[in-house]
Amino acid sequence: MRWRADAAALAALLALLGCGGRYAKTGLASWYGEELAGRPTASGERFDPAGFTAAHRRLPLGSLAQVTDLSTGRSILVRINDRGPYRHGRLIDLSRGSAQLLGTDRRAVAKVRVRAVSRGKPGTVLFQGRGGTPATAPVVAPGPTTGHYLVQVATFASHERAMALAAQIAGVVVPAGALWRVQQGPFDFADAQQARDAAAARGYADAHLLATD
């Protein structure tokens, strides 16, 4: 399933970070997962297949890169924490979590554009709240078509619990007085129903759809 966040959030974060260099290249992206789980990466941290990271031969460790699937126009931000890929003809190796977020996890390779965004810092977490405030969830820009439905997954009194859930499901945290709402989207209606059902299966029985217009 393709989790979608507001495309404006990605643009806001890119503007906030600024350009980390002139590197921009088109090539093939592959991905890797549980076979390397827990092994040390080139940055020294342990590889987390569910993380939003990637391996690249040249970009600085800890830097942020924008990866765009050229077949859909969908973009995500990833943090470079490893070196590779080592197979000829591959430009970048995404973690499984990054590939799922980008929507390329069902393909062995995908044609992408990789652009340097920021030098970043080791341990940077790609979380972004609405309005450009770094806070809550991985930033995703959908392809050209966006939907008109959000899924309100859960409401928390604890900001930390809301942030933790948003990070797991690529959602956003929206303040509501003294409470914090975790939402996903926008989706088209069919995808919104699937996202709501997935949230219910995770134990969030009160998950429901919200129309954005």
Which residues have C-beta within 8 Å of that of residue 141, sequence separation ≥ 6?
5, 7, 9, 10, 11, 74, 75, 76
| DSSP characters over 149-195 | EEEEEEEES-HHHHHHHHHHHT-EEEEETTEEEEEEEEE-HHHHHHH
Of the pLDDT bands very low, low, confident and very high (cuts 50, 70, 90), residue 161 is confident
Residue 120 clears pLDDT 70, i.e. is over it: no
Give CA–CA dist 64/97, Å, rounded: 15
pLDDT per residue over 19-72, tens digit each? 445 788 999 999 998 888 889 999 888 898 888 889 999 898 888 888 888 888
Backbone φ and ψ for 66, nearest 5 degrees, come out as -95, 125
Instruction: Say what the pLDDT of residue 134 is.
Output: 35
Backbone φ and ψ for 96, nearest 5 degrees, come out as -60, -40
Of the pLDDT bands very low, low, confident and very high (cuts 50, 70, 90), residue 125 is very low
Domains and CATH numbers, the chain: 7-118 (2.40.40.10), 147-211 (3.30.70.1070)
- Alpha-carbon separation of residue 117 from 13, 19, 44, 45, 67 (angstroms): 10, 5, 22, 21, 10
- In the numeric block, which tokens belong to residue 71? 């077949």
Instruction: Say what the pLDDT of residue 143 is.
Output: 45
Q: Determine what percent of the chain is predicted with pLDDT higher than 90.
A: 22
| DSSP characters over 63-113 | -EEEEEETTT--EEEEEEEE----STTEEEEEEHHHHHHHT-TTSS-EEEE
- In the numeric block, which tokens belong to residue 170? 């690529």
The model carries a pTM of 0.55
Asked if 66 contacts 139 with a C-beta cutoff of 8 angstroms, the reply is: no
Residue 101 clears pLDDT 90, i.e. is over it: no
Residue 132 clears pLDDT 60, i.e. is over it: no
Average pLDDT, the chain: 76
Instruction: Say what the pLDDT of residue 118 is.
Output: 65
Range with the poorest average pLDDT among 121-130, 155-164, 192-201: 121-130
Residue 138 clears pLDDT 70, i.e. is over it: no
- What residue type is 210 in one-letter code? L
